[in-house]
Every structure is written in structure tokens, then in C-alpha cells.
Amino acid sequence: MDLRRVVELVEENGALAQLCVLRDGEVVLDRAWGVGPDTPFVLFSAGKPVLAMLVHRLAGQGALSLDDPIARHWPAFAEHGKDGITVRHVLRHRSGLPYVRSVRGDALIATRWDRSVRALARARPHSAPGAVCAYHVLSHGFLLGEVVRRVTGRPLPDLFRDEVFAPAGMRHSRLGAPGSRVPLRGGPVVPRALFNRRSVRDAVIPAATVSSTARDLAAFYQSLLDDGSWRDATTPTSEGETDRVSGTPIRWSEGFQLGYPGRMRFIGSRSSRLAFGHNGSNVCFGWADPERRLVVAYLTNRLGGGPHQCAVSDAVLG
């Protein structure tokens, strides 16, 4: 573990940032650059595992089954032959519905929950369920979120708070809750103008608008290691198949991106195959490696790119 190099890389990136590294549950590095340690950042897709773990926990409680057709809980979703799409298909990014017509189109209505879920219910699938891996940029959150909302009868922000954030000790984490967040300085991959709008950052968009701190995100991953719940959620479902949306080979599980040794990934080219986590638009990430007993959470407000993220993780891995 080369912590000096880690700090150098973060400072060279020049962004507002937080970084928290845990080993065996103990803090080995906890730094913030240009912000306080309790200032929340928008996680983008790095927040997707929160909803995924909520779904796994509800399944463990018997509230739903991962093999339930979504239409069992949301009858209108069965339109256009979507009655065979299951909760598990969405967790694996294999529902055949990575977007309605385009990711951009989904983004334009993402602040309006009812309109977003209605569009998904009326949509025609792009492929048969289970056939291909196609990253669900925003549909992941709306599909799973609507099922969870119908099964529990509770608002998603409350469920995130009570079922995930509070048990993990994540005191500064919210879903779509108003509050101070670091403004984004993105690049072409990150829709900077869109995500700097208060109406977007405060909206309930489960796949994109969880806000958190590096300490909180590290606490989330440490809680999964501590209670063993990571095991059921990290069984590989794709061993490097090229994703139809991102165009890159990804090892997926039912909620997480997995370690891919030898590949330049945010988890690091030196990661173990047991490592699991999630990238957020190449702006932030969180991951845990059960084999090395490590947790890393790195949040910034600008596009750092894959090589930068990989270098930070590799420096942690040593």
C-alpha cells in the first residue's frame, strides 16, 4: 500500500475530493481536499449498490423474490411482452430494457418519477430478458425502485435511510434530499449542466442522486464485509462479456461491478476477483476487497477518467 502515491495522484487530479481507505475495518487514510469531510458529493452510479442491497434485504425478509416477474408487483409493466422480466434480470443489467428509447431521453424526464415509470411500463424491450448484458444507466433505479415502492408502500428516501444508511452509520447520506452538495466540474461524459441543477440533484433518481461522503461510502462497504451480506450479491453473472451500452467488458454480479485482474478498471488492475464495488461516471467510486480486507471510497467533483481511477486503486493495492 503506497499511501504517499495515493495522495499524489489525488492532488495531481486537481479536483475537490474526499478519500477514505479502511483495512480490517480500521482507517488508514481519511483525507479531504478543498471541502470538509462531511460535505456530501453526488455519487452518480456509485450509489446503485445501495438500492441493490435494499432489494437483496427485502428478498431475504420474504417481501419479494429475485425471481419475481416485475409485473407481479407492477401489472402495467407487462405491456409489450415484458411479463418475463424479473427483478434478477434488472440486478444483472439483463432485462432487455436498459433505456426506453435512449439514455438521453430517459435523463430528460428523470426528475419526474411518475413519467419515468410510466414510460418504462409502456416501452418495448430492446432484447429478450437474460439475452445480453446492457448497462441500465437510469432504468435500473426506476425499475427496482418502483417494485420496492409497491412492495413496501414506503417512499424510497425513507427506506434508504432506515434500511441501509442508518444501520451502516452513514450519517451524511441521502437519496434526493435537499442540502449542500459539491458543484460538479465534469467533462463530456458527465452532464455537468444537468447535474448542477438543484431540481435534478434533489430529485429521487435512485441510480444517480444518492449523495454521500467518502467516510459514509466506506462505512457502507465495511458493513457488507462485516455482516457477510456481500456474498449473495457478488456471485458473478458476467465474466467479462462486452456490455452493449458501455461497449466495455465488465464482470457483473447482482448489484456490483467485480474485480477484473489485469484490466484497467476503477477497482484496479491488481484487484482480486472477489473485489466488488461500483464506479460513478468516472467521477467517484467505492469498492471492497474481501481477500485483502480493504475498503476504498474516492469522491471527486470532476471527471478523472479510467486511468486515474485505476492508478489510485492500484496505489492502494500496492
Average pLDDT, stretch 173-197?
Answer: 61
Q: Is residue 257 a part of any domain in this protein?
A: yes
Does residue 145 share a domain with residue 231? no
> What cell was used for 88?
434478477
Q: Is residue 169 a part of any domain in this protein?
A: no
19: confidence class by pLDDT, cuts 50, 70, 90: very high
* Model pLDDT, residue 184: 55
Residue 142 has pLDDT above 80, yes or no: yes
Average pLDDT, stretch 151-155?
Answer: 97
49: confidence class by pLDDT, cuts 50, 70, 90: very high
Residue 189 has pLDDT above 50, yes or no: no
| Angle CA 131–235–282, to nearest 5 | 80
Higher-scoring residue by pLDDT: 260, 11: 11
* Model pLDDT, residue 188: 40
Q: Write the DSSP string, the chain.
A: --HHHHHHHHHHHTS-EEEEEEETTEEEEEEEESS-TT--EE-GGGGHHHHHHHHHHHHHTTS--TTSBHHHH-GGGGGGGGGG-BHHHHHTT-SS-S-SS-HHHHHHTTT-HHHHHHHHHHPPPSS-TTT-----TTHHHHHHHHHHHHHH-S-HHHHIIIIIIHHHT-TT-EES--S--PPPB--TTS-HHHHTSHHHHTS--TTT-EEE-HHHHHHHHHHHHHHSTHHHH-S-SEEEEEPTTT-SEEEE-SS-EE--TTS--TT-TT--TT-EEEEETTTEEEEEETTTTEEEEEEESB---HHHHHHHHHHHH-
Average pLDDT, stretch 88-96?
Answer: 97
Most confident of 47-56, 105-114, 264-273: 47-56
> What cell was used for 24?
480490517
* Model pLDDT, residue 99: 95
Residues in the chain: 318
Question: What range does the domain containing 99 cover?
Answer: 54-152
Does residue 280 share a domain with residue 192? yes
* Model pLDDT, residue 298: 98
Residue 265 has pLDDT above 90, yes or no: no
Q: Is residue 171 a part of any domain in this protein?
A: no
Does residue 283 share a domain with residue 192? yes
Q: How many domains does the chain have?
A: 2
Does residue 252 share a domain with residue 292? yes
Residue 80 has pLDDT above 90, yes or no: yes
Average pLDDT, stretch 149-161?
Answer: 97
| Of 19-23, 139-143, 189-193, the least confident | 189-193
CATH number at residue 184: 3.40.710.10
Residue 314 has pLDDT above 60, yes or no: yes
